[in-house]
């Protein structure tokens, strides 16, 4: 049986990490989730929500776009007031959260957060879920209308935003919530607080309020699977990369003789290692040829972004380093930190080997996936150059076919199978 150790990781901090990761998809605007959470909480105060409900709606705003992975989808959502395919990310977000008890309460409102108010009345939803879904829809659209103005002329643009929202009162939005918006936004402070430096501080302050739900190791793994799915959907050429790296890394950890608990921690680091790639533009990941020096400089930032997302979660400091060091070499060649050889723990070295191995096996836009013979040749060259740990590449040789099969996704107990289970389970409203 897998251990169920508590890591002393607070759920609220994981929610902040999810928002930080998902908001990277915006590339040039990475605070959308924070602003939606802020707006929703301000409107919630005006309709008399309790303190616990205000915290709930703030977190709901932070999580509402967890079904968005690509820059193109993000652009469609912000460039069109009522994009015809908006329901896709709502459904994905719902499926990701509905079977995870700590976040289950957010699933239905996320599923319907782009459903007009008039249509919500016909659905089999509680009034609370319907109102929370519509509150997030309203907050989301307010933010989309205001985003271009926050750092410049938002106090001049706010009247136009009022008028645009009024057009949809009673159809798209609950008139009670629209009225609450007008009351809240009569204050200049409402709009000024949405500027990047202010909303970031507000979110930081909210993050200091503990949720009092400490996550077990298995719950953190489940959340990591959710995040890995979001990252792996970024590009068709990286689909399943994170989950397969995690599977290979866990297998190598077990073969190396590490404890069951340590192997799960390595698996979590593998699932999370590419979180920072959500900031990489789609066209770079999809480029069918070598990257130029500018594109390479952009993609070389992703492991640092991974570190920045994870290092703020108390209790996951070690996992943050293992995940972020996956492009570091024992010889000091790599990026972005260039740690000393002794700073690269066995766990970090395992992630690095698993990442290289799986990437070589997988099809990429500029080449087909490689044969086992070719993969082993390349990792041997990297070990001889001092980049990869020779003991671990030797272990790969001893278990070569198993590693290759796992890297291709054939592990019946692997993370790819778990993701399929919670995405393909029957939907019950």
- C-alpha triplet 234, 235, 236: angle, nearest 5°: 135
User: 111 and 184 in one domain?
Assistant: yes
Is 409 contained in some domain? yes
User: 253 and 130 in one domain?
Assistant: no
Give, in order, the Cα–Cα distances in Å from 106 to each of 128, 223, 298, 319: 11, 14, 34, 27
Instruction: HSE, CB side, 13 Å, CA atoms: give it for residue 292.
Output: 2
Q: Active site residue: 34, 234, 277, 287, which one? A: 277
| pLDDT tens, residue by residue, 331-346 | 999 999 999 999 999 9
Give, in order, the Cα–Cα distances in Å from 83 to each of 174, 275, 314: 19, 27, 38
User: 226 and 95 in one domain?
Assistant: no
User: 226 and 132 in one domain?
Assistant: no
User: 266 and 340 in one domain?
Assistant: yes
Tally of domains in the chain: 2
CA distance 220 to 280: 25
Domain boundary pick from 162, 187, 207? 207
User: 295 and 201 in one domain?
Assistant: no
Parent domain of 388: 216-424
User: 187 and 39 in one domain?
Assistant: yes
Instruction: Check residue 421 and give its pLDDT.
Output: 63
260, two tokens = 């069951």
What's the pTM value of the predicted model, to 2 decimals? Answer: 0.91
Instruction: Check residue 240 and give its pLDDT.
Output: 86
User: 119 and 263 in one domain?
Assistant: no
Q: Which of 129, 125, 159 is nearest to 145 (CA)?
A: 159
Is 138 contained in some domain? yes
Is 1 contained in some domain? no
Active site residue 277: yes
User: 197 and 256 in one domain?
Assistant: no
Mean pLDDT by 10 residues, the chain (429 residues): 62 92 81 96 97 95 93 86 92 94 97 97 94 98 95 96 97 98 97 95 81 89 92 80 95 97 96 93 87 94 95 94 97 94 97 97 84 97 97 98 93 69 51
Is 2 contained in some domain? no
CA distance 317 to 324: 11
User: 237 and 155 in one domain?
Assistant: no
230, two tokens = 């979001």
Domain boundary pick from 186, 207, 228? 207
User: 192 and 307 in one domain?
Assistant: no
8: left (phi over 0), alpha (psi -120 to 50) or beta: left
User: 183 and 158 in one domain?
Assistant: yes
Instruction: Check residue 55 and give its pLDDT.
Output: 93
């Amino acid at each position: 049986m897998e251990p169920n150790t508590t890591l002393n990781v607070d759920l609220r901090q994981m929610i902040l990490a999810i928002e930080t990761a998902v908001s990277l998809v915006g590339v040039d605007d990475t605070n959308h989730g924070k602003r939606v959470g802020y707006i929703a909480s301000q409107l919630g105060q005006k309709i008399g929500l309790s303190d616990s409900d205000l915290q709930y709606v703030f977190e709901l705003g932070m999580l509402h776009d967890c079904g968005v992975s690509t820059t193109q989808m993000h652009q469609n959502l912000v460039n069109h007031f009522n994009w015809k395919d908006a329901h896709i990310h709502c459904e994905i977000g719902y499926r990701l959260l509905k079977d995870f008890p700590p976040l289950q309460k957010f699933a239905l409102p996320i599923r319907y957060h782009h459903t007009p108010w008039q249509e919500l009345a016909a659905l089999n939803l509680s009034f609370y879920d319907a109102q929370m879904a519509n509150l997030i829809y309203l907050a989301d659209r307010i933010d989309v209308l205001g985003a271009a103005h926050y750092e410049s002329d938002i106090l001049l643009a706010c009247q136009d935003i009022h008028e645009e929202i009024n057009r949809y009162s009673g159809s798209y939005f609950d008139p009670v919530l629209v009225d609450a918006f007008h009351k809240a936004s009569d204050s200049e402070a409402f709009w000024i607080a949405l500027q990047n430096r202010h909303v970031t501080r507000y979110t930081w302050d909210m993050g200091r309020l503990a949720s009092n739900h400490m996550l077990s190791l298995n719950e953190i793994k489940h959340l990591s699977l959710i995040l890995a799915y979001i990252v792996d959907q970024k590009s068709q050429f990286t689909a399943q990369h994170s989950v397969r790296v995690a599977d290979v890394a866990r297998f190598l950890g077990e073969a190396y003789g590490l404890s069951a608990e340590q192997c799960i921690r390595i698996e979590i680091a593998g699932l999370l290692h590419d979180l920072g790639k959500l900031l990489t533009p789609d066209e770079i990941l999809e480029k069918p040829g070598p990257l130029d020096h500018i594109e390479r400089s952009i993609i070389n930032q992703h492991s640092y972004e991974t570190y920045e997302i994870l290092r703020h979660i108390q209790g996951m400091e070690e996992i943050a380093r293992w995940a972020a060091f996956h492009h570091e070499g024992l010889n000091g060649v790599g990026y972005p930190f260039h740690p000393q050889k002794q700073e690269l723990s066995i766990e970090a070295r395992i992630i690095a080997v698993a990442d290289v191995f799986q990437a070589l096996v997988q099809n990429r836009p500029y080449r087909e996936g490689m044969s086992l013979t070719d993969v082993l040749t390349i990792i041997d060259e990297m070990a001889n150059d001092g980049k990869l740990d020779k003991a671990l590449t030797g272990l790969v040789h001893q278990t070569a076919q198993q590693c290759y099969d796992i890297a291709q996704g054939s592990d019946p107990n692997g993370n790819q199978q778990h993701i399929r289970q919670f995405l393909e389970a029957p939907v019950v409203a």
